[in-house]
Amino acid sequence: MQKNGDTLSGGLTFENDSILAWIRNTDWAKIGFKNNADSDTDSYMWFETGDNGNEYFKWRSRQSTTTKDLMTLKWDALSVLVKALFSSEVKISTVNALRIFNSSFGAIFRRSEECLHIIPTRENEGENGDIGPLRPFTLNLRTGRISMGHGLDVTGDIFANRFAINSSTGMWIHMRDQNVILGRNAVSTDGAQALLRQDHADRKFMIGGLGNKQFGIYMINNSRTANGTDGQAYMDNNGNWLCGAQVIPGNYGNFDSRYVRDVRLGTRVVQTMQKGVMYEKSGHAITGLGIIGAVDGDDPAVFRPIQKYINGTWYNVVQV
Mean pLDDT of the chain: 91
- pLDDT at res. 249: 87
pLDDT bin (cut points 50, 70, 90) of residue 141 is: very high
Mean pLDDT confidence for 60-71? 95
pLDDT band at 1 (very low <50, low <70, confident <90, very high): low
Q: State pLDDT tens for residues 269-294.
A: 999 888 878 888 889 999 999 888 77
In the sheet where 137-140 sits, what is the strand order?
96-101, 106-112, 115-120, 137-140, 146-147
pLDDT digits (tens, 9 = 90+) for 79-135: 999 999 999 998 888 888 889 999 899 999 999 889 999 999 999 999 999 999 999
Pairing mode of beta strands 299-310, 27-34? unpaired
The percentage of residues in the chain with a pLDDT greater than 90, rounded to a whole number, is: 62
Q: What is the pLDDT of residues 214-250, one digit of tens each?
A: 999 999 999 999 999 999 999 999 999 999 999 888 9
What's the CA gap between 129 and 253, in Å, rounded?
71
Is residue 12 within 8 Å of 33, Cβ to Cβ?
Answer: no
Runs of H (alpha helix) within 184-283:
253-256
Q: What was the pLDDT predicted at 276?
A: 79
- Say what the pLDDT of residue 105 is: 94
The β-bridge partners of 4 are none
The candidate with the shortest Cα–Cα distance to 183, out of 197, 169, 172, 173, is 197
Tell me what percent of the residues of the chain surpass a pLDDT of 70.
99
The CA-atom distances, in angstroms, between 283 and each of 91, 264, 279, 302, 314 are: 97, 12, 13, 13, 13
Mean pLDDT calculated for residue range 1-24: 84
- What residue ranges do the domains of the chain occupy? 20-50, 96-147, 172-243, 260-316
10 Å CB burial of residue 55 (0-12, 13-18, 19+) is middle
From the list 25, 73, 14, 12, the residue with the least C-alpha distance to 47 is: 73
The structure's pTM equals 0.58
AA letter at 227: N
Whether 299 shows a pLDDT value over 90: the answer reads: no
